[in-house]
Structure 1
Amino acid sequence: MSTESRPNDRRLALFPLPFQGHINPMLQLANILHAKGFKITIIHTVFNSPNQSNYPQFTFKSISDGLSESKNINFNLDTTNPVVNFMNRSCIEPFKDCLLRLLKEEPIACLITDALWHFTQSVADSLNLPRIVLRTSSMSCILVYAAIPILNENGYLKTTIQEDPIPDLAPITNKDILKVFNDEFKEGKLELISSMIKNTKAASGIIWNTFKELEESAFSVISQDFCVPNFPIGPFHKYFPAYSSSLLEQDRSFMSWLDQQPDRSVVYVSFGSIAQMDEVGFTDMAWGLANSKQRFLWVVRPGSVSGSEWLESLPEGFIEEVGERGCIVKWAPQQEVLAHRAVGVFWTHNGWNSTLESICEGVPMICSPYSYDQPINARYVTDVWRVGVMLDNGMETARVIKRVIEDKEGGEMRERSKSLQEKVNLSLGKGGSANQSLENLVDYILTL
């Protein structure tokens, strides 16, 4: 889908959080707004800086993030939260200095930052700049996050696991909340979420990578509780042909193998750019794929298995068992894979980008969420949209895979997935809710 550009010479400054699941939607948003006639400046950290050669239409400005001077920060799932908290302190002055330099060159119509850059609200206020927030997860997720203080007071963040939905947050359960806070950095995560919510409510508006029809009830609540304009214009990746803002090198050598597989026969497995697992979990996953007797394309990111460089932890006999049925790669062009006729199910960690991409291609999901927004997304996939199944501990992995690929239940999930796919396309089309929301966003920015 393309957008109609309109004449305007207004400059926007965009500031993505430097992690793959946040960089992608921010750069996609930049493209969408550039097609509407805005000039785009991307402010970015030295850590995980985007590949500028892919975006000759944008201006890039790098700022110091303080990470190179710190010797005590590691970059993996367990420490992502402390890294974000650290950068929200270390980037204040470099970010403000960068904006001041930009403002000397020309006016900035609006600052658009990732919601997790909560410090940017005070900087924007000090410079009298309007700040619009990009929230890269679902609307349903932020409602859960906004309820965290009350959930904490009522004991839902403790170790008692209840399967019943939490009052006023259905279908979310206590078990889901405990997965959100499944690491040793709970206090830091609570601090980050609280600051994010407070400064999102203080912003001039919120842009969402979702569409109204997918989250109708959440949109209604947010419109009342977050008293700023809301613009659900997603899914972002559907506006333009897929191209890479990946921080990891993509492997396309498997495409000829995928082309040879029957329709809807392949289990695509990928757990994103940050999630890590231990050797036991990796071994269980391997044998689950092998014992299912199904074809599979498995993305194993180097370093994603604790204590292993890449495939050293594969169990003995696994390769011989799966033979030509399986294909393992380091990274893959996910949108292209999910759109392929051979893919029958997506086994995912349920990051929001991955969840949206699966919905957009009508592919049912097997859900194995780890932390952050993933348990919330997975619960909506299984219990609200009913386009996937949760793979809980103790469930036989091979049987779950077969249920989705072979059984009637999987066929019904696929039909519901195709129905959601149609809603996506209608929303993005002329007169659709996402299309109209984008027009409203452009008009709004031009009035700031």
Structure 2
Amino acid sequence: MSQLVDTHVAVLTFPHGTHAAPLLAIIDRLASASPKTLFSFFGTAQSNNSIFSTSQPTPPNVKAYSVDDGVPEGYVFVGKPQEDIELFMEVAPQNLRKAMEVAVEESGRKVSCLVADAFFWFAKQIAVENGVPWVSFWTAGACSLSSHVYTDLIREKFGVGGIVGREDETLNFIPGMSKVRIRDLPEGIVLGNLESFFSRMLHRMGQVLPEATAVFLNSCEELDPDRTTDLKSKFKQYLNVGPFILATPPPSVPDPYGCLTWLDKQKPTTVVYISFGSVVTPPPNELVALAEAVEASQVPFIWSLRDKSRVHLPNGFLERANGMVVPWAPQRDVLAHGAVGVFITHGGWNSLVESIAGGVPMIFRPFFGDHGVNGRMVEDVWEIGVIVESGVLTKNGIMRSLDLILAQEKGKKMRENLKEVVALAQISVGANGSSTKNFKKLLDLVCSQNHA
């Protein structure tokens, strides 16, 4: 690859949920591989402060720039769903353009490539204005990506007038999605309010993404071979460059509550790890049901639960139960520990990948977005976990799922399946693996002089 000293990559991050951190992880890797390239990383101050303050050192050629969060001074939130996202997105195009101008002026380097979160469908126009490639990062897996790319076809097939009675019909007309049911799809495709700001944004994204110079994601081709073949035909370049956690294992993070020390005292594959990520918390009645299930099952557990939610736990639960409830846990390290036997999760892509890397079967309680399709892949395609009965946490449902995974032959089979998946993923990030080759293509595309 030929590099110029003045190559300058603008990185546009979506600052909500857990989108920004995985994009920073791949940008750090690209920056280390191309030290003469400048990467200007644009996010809100809150998002940047959160991800740049971790123990992961950032290469010196990555510079963070803050953009406004779109919330007017004195604004009072009215509690509308995704209100903060809508405020940000309404002004994001002009705010990101202004921030890019600042970075160009400060560095003296014109932008040579635009890397953007896939949610930013308007990045296409910004790239055209600057005469540079538009490289899009999809933060989830291939199945949810296909859902959005095929939205128009799915609507044509099922209509948009409601799907009552058809929830379990499958998407067998889309390659690699024959097991996925309508009920599993992200809202905004045929479920929910199709005219909401967020639904319209994702619909537009699915329509525009095939025009990107390339689309890349944190997965490997071997995990989704049929969908990989299909999406390669849909995009100019479709690059699986993960799993990041295996390609460049992150350093261990602090363990302020002693989770790992406690795990060292437990028997192999016996511990239940519970976490629903940083965005969602189950409703109080489901928290009670989950607490009653782990207590009645007498399983050792670590539960990562925000302090404000502890009030919903049954009286005396913390004293009686065989485990620990902590406000935060070093999830990657916990899932990599041999004592952990099952992960109860919301089913976000980052958590799913970390559980696969740790070889831990999953119990999914899906909430929104890609959780449903991820759960279907885990249960029916890869067979490395289950979706909770009826999609909600109940005492008996959780107890049955725990028994299935921790005590029955099916759980043993899941762990064997996980070993096979991990082995494929390890090969993909090896010296001659598909993800390694795709990363080199991405590096050449993003940091090459050809378009500088």
Query: Do both share a fold (TM > 0.5)?
Result: yes
Is 2:14 aligned against 1:31? no
Partner SS for 1:396: helix
C-alpha change, 1:317 and 1:327, in structure 2 (3 Å) is same
Partner SS for 2:11: strand
Is 2:213 aligned against 1:204? yes
Contact 2:116/2:137 (8 A) holds in 1: yes
C-alpha change, 1:232 and 1:357, in structure 2 (3 Å) is same
C-alpha change, 1:312 and 1:350, in structure 2 (3 Å) is same
Task: Give the distance between the partners of 2:298 and 2:69, measured in 1 at CA.
Answer: 47
C-alpha change, 1:8 and 1:329, in structure 2 (3 Å) is farther
Deviation of 1:357 (Å): 1.0
Aligned residue for 2:246?
238
C-alpha change, 1:257 and 1:184, in structure 2 (3 Å) is farther
Deviation of 1:134 (Å): 0.5
Aligned residue for 1:214?
223
Is 2:65 aligned against 1:61? yes
Task: Give the distance between the partners of 2:326 and 2:355, measured in 1 at CA.
Answer: 19
Is 2:365 aligned against 1:368? yes
Deviation of 1:8 (Å): 5.7
Aligned length: 429
Task: Give the distance between the partners of 2:257 and 2:59, measured in 1 at CA.
Answer: 24
Partner SS for 1:44: strand
Is 2:347 aligned against 1:343? no
254, 268, 271: which one aligns with 1:266: 271
Contact 2:134/2:212 (8 A) holds in 1: yes
Partner SS for 1:310: helix
Deviation of 1:326 (Å): 1.1
C-alpha change, 1:193 and 1:179, in structure 2 (3 Å) is closer
Is 2:177 aligned against 1:172? no
Aligned residue for 1:442?
443
Is 2:283 aligned against 1:284? no
Deviation of 1:251 (Å): 4.0
Contact 1:180/1:371 (8 A) holds in 2: no
C-alpha change, 1:178 and 1:7, in structure 2 (3 Å) is closer
Letter in 2 for 1:432: G
Partner SS for 2:215: strand
Is 2:137 aligned against 1:134? yes
115, 122, 125: which one aligns with 2:128: 125
Aligned residue for 2:377?
380
Deviates more, 1:402-411 or 1:181-190: 181-190
Task: Give the distance between the partners of 1:328 and 1:235, measured in 2 at CA.
Answer: 29
Aligned residue for 2:415?
414
Aligned residue for 1:306?
none
Letter in 2 for 1:398: M
Task: Give the distance between the partners of 2:179 and 2:74, measured in 1 at CA.
Answer: 41
Partner SS for 1:79: coil
143, 151, 165: which one aligns with 2:154: 151
Aligned residue for 2:402?
401
> If the length of structure 2 is used for normalisation, what is the TM-score?
0.88
Deviation of 1:47 (Å): 4.0
180, 204, 209: which one aligns with 1:195: 204
Deviation of 1:103 (Å): 2.7
- Equivalent positions of 1:345-360 (< 5 A) are 345-360=342-357
Deviates more, 1:34-43 or 1:8-17: 8-17
Task: Give the distance between the partners of 1:161 and 1:275, measured in 2 at CA.
Answer: 28
Contact 2:28/2:59 (8 A) holds in 1: no
Contact 1:212/1:219 (8 A) holds in 2: yes
Deviates more, 1:183-192 or 1:35-44: 183-192
Partner SS for 2:428: helix
Deviation of 1:15 (Å): 1.8
C-alpha change, 1:189 and 1:402, in structure 2 (3 Å) is same
> If the length of structure 1 is used for normalisation, what is the TM-score?
0.88
C-alpha change, 1:73 and 1:110, in structure 2 (3 Å) is farther
Deviation of 1:13 (Å): 1.9
C-alpha change, 1:123 and 1:69, in structure 2 (3 Å) is farther
Contact 2:20/2:47 (8 A) holds in 1: no
Letter in 1 for 2:81: T
Unaligned runs of 5+ in 2: none
Deviates more, 1:271-280 or 1:146-155: 146-155
Letter in 1 for 2:118: A
- What does the per-residue CA deviation read over 1:335-375, in whole Å, with 9 as the maximum and x for residues that have no partner? 11111111111111110011111111211111111110110
Deviation of 1:123 (Å): 2.0
Partner SS for 1:286: helix
Contact 1:359/1:421 (8 A) holds in 2: yes
Is 2:115 aligned against 1:106? no
Superposition RMSD in Å: 2.5
Partner SS for 1:62: strand
Deviation of 1:187 (Å): 2.9
Partner SS for 1:312: helix
